[in-house]
Amino acid sequence: MRRRTAPVLASFAAVALVATLAACSNDSPTPSSSTAAAAADVDVCATPSGKASDAVKVSTDLAAEPTATFEKGLSSSETERSVVVKGKGDELAAGGSASVAYVVFNGTTGERIDAAGYGGGEVPTFTASVDSLMAGLAKSIGCVTEGSRVVSVIPPADAFGTTGNSDLKIAADDSLVVVVDVKDVVPSKAWGADQPAPEGLPTVKLADDGTPTVTLPEGDAPTELKIGVLKKGDGEVVADDATVTVQYQGTKWSDGSVFDQSWGRGASSFALSGVVPGFAQAIAGQTVGSQVIVVIPPALGYGEKSDSNTAELAGETLVFVIDILATS
């Protein structure tokens, strides 16, 4: 369920998150198999340290926003990562998610661009996958342990490419210097208490890694939104306007085929304001750690198919199994 393309905001995180959900807006195509294959070839854990990242002097007080000192014009030909403070917690596996705090600088000018997660501000969740996050950031956090602080130097090819980002005052040839604190590794699947199977809804069987298999009941698809709680989490209640991190799988009621899922590529983070109404309504008001199943009629998904609405999923009733892993 792909989110709508986010407007460029004065927030680095808002443009660093990659749209990965395939059914959240009519104007975003499903990722191709070639794109997924290319992403799978990127080893986010193999990021080397180098002269550029080692040259950045970073403060070590994890309770405060870090300072970074470096010569203007700092650049590298590939993303480099140096560990400033090595944490003793769990390792953030490739494709896994963690709450983070960060500060980002323009490597050419030395100017501070943005920061998040410090001073009581919102703590974002990043996924260590180039399917879900700017490549240079995914390479910055892959296989880093909880409690660590790392500094990376990211070239344009792993950031905003040949266009830069004018809203963030990043030119096409500017590198980024990013300091990231990896706070808490997020579980990869829902951990809540099992709930009785919702009557009349599709049944769900889970693999050991949490990947669901959905079996549809006989009969016509529901014409109204249907939501069932499969696992009840003990975490925070998700607000209507929250940003969430989830694992999900989407199935067509019409033929039982899976048309999109995060399983196999890593959890996705997005704002509920950027997804189709039925998907957002299934998550808002639930608790973190929960797993829900939702049946979304066309009116709350892609709409009915027509001459003016030729989206691939127009007219389809959609079934999603959603593991709610984090919210902010």
DSSP calls for 195-249: -PPPTTSPEEEE-TTS-EEEEPPSSPPPSS-EEEEEEE--SPBPPTT-EEEEEEE
Residue 289 vs residues 47, 97, 299, 326: alpha-carbon distances, Å: 31, 14, 28, 8
pLDDT recorded at residue 40? 58
Nearest residue to 132 (alpha-carbon basis) of 259, 7, 248, 218? 248
C-alpha 169/C-alpha 70 separation (Å) is 19
Q: How many residues does the chain have?
A: 328
Residues 184-195: pLDDT tens digits? 999 999 999 999
C-alpha 298/C-alpha 295 separation (Å) is 10
pTM: 0.82
What is the SS3 assignment for 167?
A: helix
Once rounded to an integer, what is the mean pLDDT over residues 240-244? 93
Residues 250-259: pLDDT tens digits? 999 999 999 9
Residue listed under structure tokens 């099992």: 194
Q: Residue 127 corresponds to which amino acid?
A: T
Longest dimension (CA), the chain: 67
Q: Residue 58 corresponds to which amino acid?
A: V
Nearest residue to 107 (alpha-carbon basis) of 61, 49, 59, 151? 151
Residue 132 vs residues 105, 266, 280: alpha-carbon distances, Å: 21, 7, 19
Once rounded to an integer, what is the mean pLDDT over residues 60-69? 97
Q: How many C-alpha atoms does 272 have within 13 Å on its Cβ side?
A: 21
What percentage of the chain exceeds 70 in pLDDT? 89
Has residue 26 got a pLDDT over 80? no
Residues 149-183: pLDDT tens digits? 999 999 999 999 999 999 899 999 999 999 999 99
> Residue 258: enclosing H or E segment and its boundaries?
strand 258-261
DSSP calls for 25-89: -TTSPPPPHHHHHHHHT--TT-PPP-HHHHT-EE---TTSPPPEE--TT---SS-EEEEEE---S
C-alpha 29/C-alpha 2 separation (Å) is 8
Q: Residue 298 corresponds to which amino acid?
A: P
Sign of the torsion angle spanned by Cα atoms 169, 108, 81, 161? positive
C-alpha 296/C-alpha 252 separation (Å) is 10
- Domain residue ranges in the chain: 42-186, 193-327
Class at the top of the CATH hierarchy for domain 42-186: alpha beta
Q: Give the count of beta carbons closer than 10 Å to the beta carbon of residue 71.
A: 10
Region of poorest pLDDT, from 23-27, 63-67, 154-158, 202-206: 23-27
Residues 270-328: pLDDT tens digits? 889 989 999 999 999 999 999 999 999 999 999 999 999 999 999 999 999 999 999 98
Say whether 193-327 and 42-186 share the same fold.
Answer: yes
Which CATH architecture group holds 193-327? Roll (3.10)
pLDDT recorded at residue 11? 63
Q: What is the mean pLDDT of the chain?
A: 89
pLDDT bracket for residue 18 (50, 70, 90): low
**Are 231 and 192 spatial neighbours (Cβ–Cβ below 8 Å)?**
yes
pLDDT recorded at residue 30? 38
